[in-house]
Amino acid sequence: MTLIEQKIDSEAAQPLNVDALFDRLVLSLQLLGDREFIRRAQQYEQRLERERLVAAARVAGSSGDTNSDRKRARGLLGGRGRSQRSVNRDARRAAAVAANSSLEAKVADGSIAADSLDALTKAAHPETGHIPEELIDDVAGMSPGQTDHAVDRHLEDNADRGQVNDRSRRQMQARRCRRGFRPAGEGKPDMATLVLEGPDSIIDRIWSQVCVSADAAYQAGGGRDRPVGEHAPWEHRLFDAAVEFFDGTATGGRSKPAVVVSINLEDLGAKPATQHGTGPIADDVFASYVAGSPIYAMFTDSAGQPLWLGRTRRRASAAQFIGLAVRDGGCVRCGASPQRCEAHHLVPWTAPAKGRTDIDQLALLCGPCHRELHQQNLTLYSQLGPSGKVVWHTRPATPNETPPPRPQTIQRE
């Protein structure tokens, strides 16, 4: 028997002192240096969080009543130093694990992150807490942002027309506009605010038009071909676009549609239409769009809109953007609204492989995800998930897929 084995046997014979073991672990991590301590502490913290939720789910159990399950979980997870909000969040997560047996293994092995449970609970049955099995299988391995996007698409696909109409009616009855004020803090000045509250479809339509105008200003200033730091910040462009929208001085020149609404012909009259970036919309909202907006038929091949442009044009056309909004529903990485997204070439346009502006060679990415993908030199690709739905992944780009370096940030004195 080796010395190490003898020591293990000796320690195993002693009463287990968990606090001493934990202190020893912390001391061992500190000896690795601050950077390594931070990295490993985050890693262990995530694992402890997963195991804590699974343990709470096992102790609380599932009674078939999600409210009772959450109440029992809150009693287990509360304690000094914890806010009521965080306790309620963890109780909701633990109750979801308790009500769905397939979640326990996926949470324990890390294939479904604790933060992803918040999105999954949106699809849970209001009484039993049951989450569709195929949805759980689809989101395994996804980031929390991708999970949120996948759950939203699932809810859109299964929306009840009557519930959507009732929700829009109640939102319309509660609509309001108010002037607010945000006090100074963190080195920022006092700020006046204007808050519009009402139906999702109306608020999103305004927000979308503002986002598209802000993006048009970015493109007019040179877009991604200009060095980082030579554009006004996104928040400033949004403010300027909003002021133009509300005072009537918006000049148009938009490069993509502000709002995309779709419904399959066979679902007309049976299911609600979807406003991409918002979700299902009420019948009267859809009727107003039909009365005042152009209607396009979207085909799955080149017989309809010109969706395959090859190397004849670098930027996606408005017709292609409509197709991408309907197909992807938003950023394929984090689920951001289509109006915050750009058409990304799966193979970069300037790479040696010469990417093509074809609908099957494009995907929607929001600005931050788009920049991150290029900065890390990753290639985006899709696969069919367990339920047959498309799931997006990344891998390191090959030399043939790597574009030449872009202009760097300009340092100003």
Name residues whose C-beta falls within 8 Å of residue 359's C-beta, 6 or more positions apart in sequence. 307, 308, 320, 323, 324
R_g (Cα) of the chain, nearest Å = 25
pLDDT tens by residue, 205-215:
888 888 888 88
Residue 135 pLDDT: 92
Confidence of residue 8 (pLDDT cuts 50, 70, 90): very low
User: Helix 84-99 and helix 101-108: axis angle, to 10°?
Assistant: 120
Burial class of residue 326 in the structure, from the number of CB atoms within 10 Å of its CB (0-12 exposed, 13-18 middle, 19+ buried): middle
State percent of the chain over pLDDT 90.
20
Residue 169 pLDDT: 92
The single residue listed with the structure tokens 């938009």 is 254
Spatial distance between the Cα atoms of 287 and 307, rounded to a whole number of angstroms: 27
Mean pLDDT estimate for the chain = 83
Q: Is pTM beyond 0.75 here?
A: no
Spatial distance between the Cα atoms of 76 and 352, rounded to a whole number of angstroms: 58
Confidence of residue 6 (pLDDT cuts 50, 70, 90): low
Candidate from 298-302, 386-390, 405-409 with smallest mean pLDDT: 298-302
Spatial distance between the Cα atoms of 325 and 344, rounded to a whole number of angstroms: 12
Residue 14 pLDDT: 55
